[in-house]
Amino acid sequence: MLYVVGFGCGSYEGMTIEAQRTIENSGLIVGYTAYTELIKKYFPQKESYDTGMRGETQRVRYALEKAAEGVDVALICSGDSEVYGMAGLAYQLSEQYPSVEIQVIAGVTAALSGGALLGSPLTNDFAVISLSDLLTPMEKIIKRIEYAAKADMTIAVYNPSSKNRAEHLKKICAVLNEIIPPETICGYVKNVGRLGCEHGVMTLRELFDFKADMFTTIFIGCSDTRLINGKMVTLRGYKNV
C-alpha cells in the first residue's frame, strides 16, 4: 500500500491523527529531504528514503516500487498531499504499477494554518496560487493572479521568493496594484508551526518591498478584508452585525 500523507506544517501538533497513525504504521517514509528531516524526530525508528529539490519523480517512483514489493510506504508531503503535493504524481506514475493501491491522507495546508495565525483572511472564496515557475510558466501564474484579483477573491500565495526568483513577488504586486487599491490589507506567515515562526499584516503598498522566502505564505486581501484588533479578517457578508 502506498499512502500519500500530508503532515501539515511540520509540528507534531499540526498533524492530523490520521496522518500520525499512518506514518507510525508504515514500514518506510519517503519524501523531500527537508521534510524527512522534520519527521524523523517524531518517528526516529522509521526507515526513510529522500531526494532533494527536483527529485520528485525519482522518490515517487521509488515509493511505488517498494509498495509493489509489499511494503506499506508513507510518501510524505508538507501541508496537504494534494495541494502542491505528491498525490497527483503518484497517481500519474501508478499506471506503471497496477498492483499498488494508493490512499491519499489529507493534511492542513499553509493557507489554512497560516491564515489561522493572521486571524481569518479566508472566510469567503479564495484562491491558492504558487509563484514557483519550475513547472508552471510565469506568464500563466501572472494571469491567474490577475484573474483572481479581478474576481475579488482573497489570494494565498505560496513559494513567493527564492534565490533564483527574488523579484517574483514584486512582479505580482505590480500586477495587483493595477487592479486593487494599494491600501488593501495583506499578511504574511513565515515558518508556520516551526522554529522562528512569525507573522504580520501590512498593506499591498508595503508588501511590494517585503522580503519573503520559500517558507513564507503571503495573503492578499479583497474588498471585504478588514484589519480588526490587529487581525486580518475577510467579512462574509452577514447582515445586521
Task: Write the DSSP symbol of residue 8.
Answer: B
Q: What is the pLDDT of residues 10-65, one digit of tens each?
A: 889 999 999 999 999 999 999 999 999 989 999 999 999 999 988 999 999 999 99
Per-residue pLDDT for 3 more than 90?
A: yes
Q: What is the dihedral of CA 103, 134, 30, 115, to 10 degrees?
A: -70
Share of the chain above pLDDT 70, in %: 100
Share of the chain above pLDDT 90, in %: 87
pLDDT band at 161 (very low <50, low <70, confident <90, very high): confident
Q: What is d(CA 137, CA 132) in angstroms, rounded to the nearest whole number?
A: 9
Per-residue pLDDT for 163 more than 80?
A: no
pTM of the predicted model as reported, rounded to 2 decimal places? 0.93
Helices (H), 41-167: 56-68, 87-94, 110-118, 138-150
Per-residue pLDDT for 68 more than 80?
A: yes
Least confident range from 81-90, 111-120, 180-189, 209-218: namely 209-218
Per-residue pLDDT for 144 more than 90?
A: yes
Per-residue pLDDT for 9 more than 80?
A: yes
**All structural domains of the chain:** 2-105 (3.40.1010.10), 110-234 (3.30.950.10)
Q: What is the pLDDT of residues 105-128, one digit of tens each?
A: 999 999 999 999 999 999 999 999
Q: What is the dihedral of CA 177, 182, 192, 227, to 10 degrees?
A: -150
The percent helix, strand, coil of the chain (3-state, each to 5) is 30, 25, 45
Q: What pLDDT, on the 0 to 100 scale, is given for residue 194?
A: 83
Q: What pLDDT, on the 0 to 100 scale, is given for residue 196?
A: 86
Q: What pLDDT, on the 0 to 100 scale, is given for residue 87?
A: 98
